[in-house]
Structure 1
Amino acid sequence: MLGYDLLVVGSANADLVIGVDRRPGAGETVLGSDLAVHPGGKGANQAVAAARLGARTALLARVGGDAYGRLLLDAQRAAGVDTVGVLVGEEPTGVAVITVDRAGDNSIVVSPGANARLEPGDIRAAGSLLASARVVSAQLEIPMAAVAEAVRSRAPGARLVLNASPPAQLPPQVLAACDPLVVNEHEALALLSGHPAAEADEPAAWASALLSRGPRSVVVTLGAAGALAADRNGVVTVPAPRVAVVDTTGAGDAFTGALAWRLSAGDVLETAVRYAVRVGSAACARAGAQSSFPRAEDLAVLPDALPADEN
C-alpha cells in the first residue's frame, strides 16, 4: 500500500505581503499597509491545502536554516504535512513579495533562494518518498531539471499533476506525463505564444491546443468563472460558487492541492475539478495564502455554483 496520497515536489517561500489601494505602475511609488509575513510558496501551499482537506501529504523542497525556513517548517507540520523530505541548507529561504489591492487581486515577485538549489540528486535521494505516493504534484518555482527527475522517479502508475507556474516551455517527457497540466489564463497564453489559439478569447480552444502538445489532460483555471477540464473525451466547464472576494493569494494553489488529492482518491477528472473549484473559491473569501485554505467541513457553507452563463 502506498504511504502518501500526495507528494508535492516544489517551492517553499516566505510571503511578504503589503496591502495597497491600487498596485503601482512602472516607476510609481504607492503607500501600503504594515508588512505581514506568512508561510507560502506554490509547493508548500499545495501541500498544506491538501493536508488540511484530509490528504496524507509529504513535501519535498529546500529551505534555508533561517527564521523564514523555520516558519515554513512549522506551518507544514501544523497542517499535518510530513516534512521528512524538506532539506535545510545554508542558502536563504525563498521569498515572495506580494501586493494585494482593494479588489483582492495580487501581484507577486519571487526571489527563489533555496528553491533554485533543489537538484536532481535531491530528488533521487528521496526515492522512498516518490515510491510511496499515489500522486506527485509539481510546479515551476524549482529548476526544470528537478521537475524532470521527479517525473522519471515517481512510482509506476503514479499520476503527475503539474502546475505550469510560472510558465516555461516543458520538455516533451514532462508534457507527456502531465495528467493534468494545470494553468491559469495567463499561463495558458504564455505556453501557447505564437499558436493561433492564443489569438482567440476561448479557453476551450486554449485547452485543446495544449492537449495537442502531449499532456494526458489539461485544466485551465478561470478565476471567478471556475475552471475548464479537457482530456481525450472532450471539454467541460465547471462554474464556481459566487463568494465575496477578500484575497486571491494562494487560491490557485488551494485549487491544485485539492485537485491532486481528489485524483489520488480515485475521482475522475471532472469530479476532482468540481471539488477543487469549491476549495479555490473558499480560499478567496479569506485573507492570506495558507491561512485562507479551508478544511473539508468549511465547504458545506459555500453557495451552489451558478450556471456558467450566469457567472
Structure 2
Amino acid sequence: MVIGEPLVEFSASAPLTEADTFHLSFSGDALNAAVAAAATGAHVALVTLVGEDEFGERLIRFAAAHGVDTRWMRRGPGSTGAYAVGADPSGERAFGYMRACSAASRMGPSDVSAAPLAQTSVLLVSGVTAALSASCAHAVLHAAEVVREAGGKVVYDPNYRSRLTGAEAAAGVLAEIAPYAALVTPSCPGDSLPLLGTGDPAEAVRACLGLGAGAVAVTRGADGVLLGDRDGGPPVEIPAVPAGLIVDQTGAGDAFAGTVAARLSAGDPLREAVRAGTAAAAVSLEGQGGTGRVATPEDIQRLLGELSGTSDTASA
C-alpha cells in the first residue's frame, strides 16, 4: 500500500526559466512508486484523495491502466494537484508545484483508515506526503502505527523537498516515524544533510538506526546504495546499475522505493530487494517524467544479470 498525492505532471526537457513546451502526464512520488511496485507483479493499492475534476478522473484511469488498485483513490473537495518540472539530459531539475489546498492535502487519519491497513504486508509512505499538511502528517503516522502493530512492514522515504517544508519539520517527522519503519531510504546528501546533519553515508546509516529504524538504505545516485541494519555488522555497498540512457532523473528514487517495497512484500531478502530497486531506478532514468519509463521484471532480471560479476563489499 502506498499513501500519498498523485499529481498531474507538466514536464519539459529544458529548465523552467526557458521551457515553452510541456508534455502532459501523471506523476508524484506516491503514484511513481505505486506504478513501479505494480510493474513487478505486486498487488499494490494507492490511498489518496483526488479532486472532483477531469484530472482527478484521468489520474484514477491512469493508475488503473498501470495495474494499481484504485479502490481507495477517492474523490474529494479541492482540486487535483499538479506540478511543472524542467529537466535537461544531465538530470538537473526544478519543480514548480500547484497543489495548495488540493484534495490530497486534506487527507487525515480517517481517510487512510478506510483502507485495509491491518491486512497490508508493506506500507510505503514519504516525507512528501507528511509535508502536505498537518492532517497528512497525522495520517502517515497513524498508518505506520497500524501496519506495524498488525505485523506489516513500513518503508519510509524521507524525500525532502524544501519548497514543501522546512528541514526542522521534516527531521521531526523522520524521528517520529523511524521507530515504526522496517526500512528508511534517505538520499545522500539530498536528505541526509538537511535532516541528519551529515553528508557521510555511513553516518547517515548510524543516525537513522539511532532513531529506531530497522534498516537503512542510503541512496547515492551513481555511487550506489549503502545498506545497514540493526544486526551490528558493517554497512554493505550495493553498486548502482548503470543507466543505458539518462533522459530525466524525475521519479528514479520513487521507482527504487516502490520496487524495494514490492520485493519485500514478495518475501525477498532485504539486500536482494534493494538490488532490484537499483535496477528499476536505472530504467526510470531512461524516460521523461516520473512514469515515462517503468521497469518490468524482465528489465530488472536482465540488468542484474549483467552485473552478476559484481560482488557486494563491506564498508566500515
The count of aligned residue pairs is: 288
Q: 1:32-69 CA deviation, whole Å, 9 max, x = no partner?
A: 25111111111111111100111011111111122221
Q: Which segment drifts farther, 295-304 or 87-96?
A: 295-304
Match of 1:237 in 2: 237
- Rounded to whole Å, the distance in 2 between the matches of 1:13 and 1:117 is 15
The TM-score normalised by the length of structure 2 is 0.85
Structure-1 separation of matches of 2:174 and 2:11: 33
1:144-223 correspondence to structure 2 within 5 Å:
144-154=137-147, 156-166=150-160, 168=170, 169-170=172-173, 172-185=175-188, 186-193=190-197, 198=198, 201-223=199-221
Deviation at 1:162, TM superposition (A): 0.8
**Counterpart residue identity of residue 77, structure 1:** A
Is 1:46 the counterpart of 2:47? The answer is no
Unaligned runs of 5+ in 2: 130-135, 162-169
- Structure 1 length normalisation: TM-score? 0.86
Pairing 1:11–2:5 present: yes
| Residue identity opposite 2:193 in structure 1 | L
The change in CA–CA distance for 1:86 and 1:180 in structure 2 (over 3 A counts) is same
CA deviation map 1:195-232 (0-9, x unaligned): xxx1xx42112111221111111111111222111111
- Larger CA deviation: 104-113 vs 173-182: 104-113
| Map 1:1-311 → 2, pairs under 5 A | 7-20=1-14, 23=15, 30-112=17-99, 113-126=102-115, 129-142=116-129, 143-154=136-147, 156-166=150-160, 168=170, 169-170=172-173, 172-185=175-188, 186-193=190-197, 198=198, 201-233=199-231, 234=233, 235-243=235-243, 244-302=245-303, 303-304=306-307
* Structure 1 partner of 2:165: none
Alpha-carbon contact 2:224-2:240 (below 8 Å) kept: yes
Instruction: Provide the rounded CA distance (Å) in 2 between the counterparts of 1:52 and 1:19.
Output: 25
Shift of 1:172: 4.8
When residues 151 and 299 of structure 1 are mapped into structure 2, their CA distance, relative to the original with a 3 A threshold, is: closer
Asked if 2 retains the 8 angstrom alpha-carbon contact of 1:93 and 1:114, the reply is yes
Aligned residue identity for 2:256: F
The answer on whether the counterparts of 1:18 and 1:99 sit within 8 Å (CA) in structure 2 is yes
Instruction: Report the CA distance shift for 1:257/1:171 in structure 2 as closer, same or farther (over 3 A).
Output: closer
2:81–2:98 CA contact under 8 A, matched in 1 = yes
Q: In structure 2, the residue corresponding to 1:272 is in which secondary structure? A: helix
In 2, Cα distance between equivalents of 1:102 and 1:50: 26
The answer as to whether partners of 1:51 and 1:80 remain within 8 angstroms in 2 is: yes
Shift of 1:120: 1.1
- What code does the residue aligned with 1:208 have? R
Deviation digits for residues 65-85 of structure 1 (CA, Å, limit 9, x no counterpart)? 222212211111001111111
Partner SS, residue 230 of structure 1: strand
Structure 2 counterpart of 1:116, which letter? S
**Secondary structure, aligned partner of 1:165:** coil
* 1:285 Cα deviation after fit: 2.0
Alpha-carbon offset, residue 109 of structure 1: 3.2
Tell me the equivalent position of 1:3.
Answer: none
Q: Which runs of 5+ in 1 are unaligned?
A: 1-6, 25-29
* Cα contact 1:229–1:269 (8 A) shared by 2: no
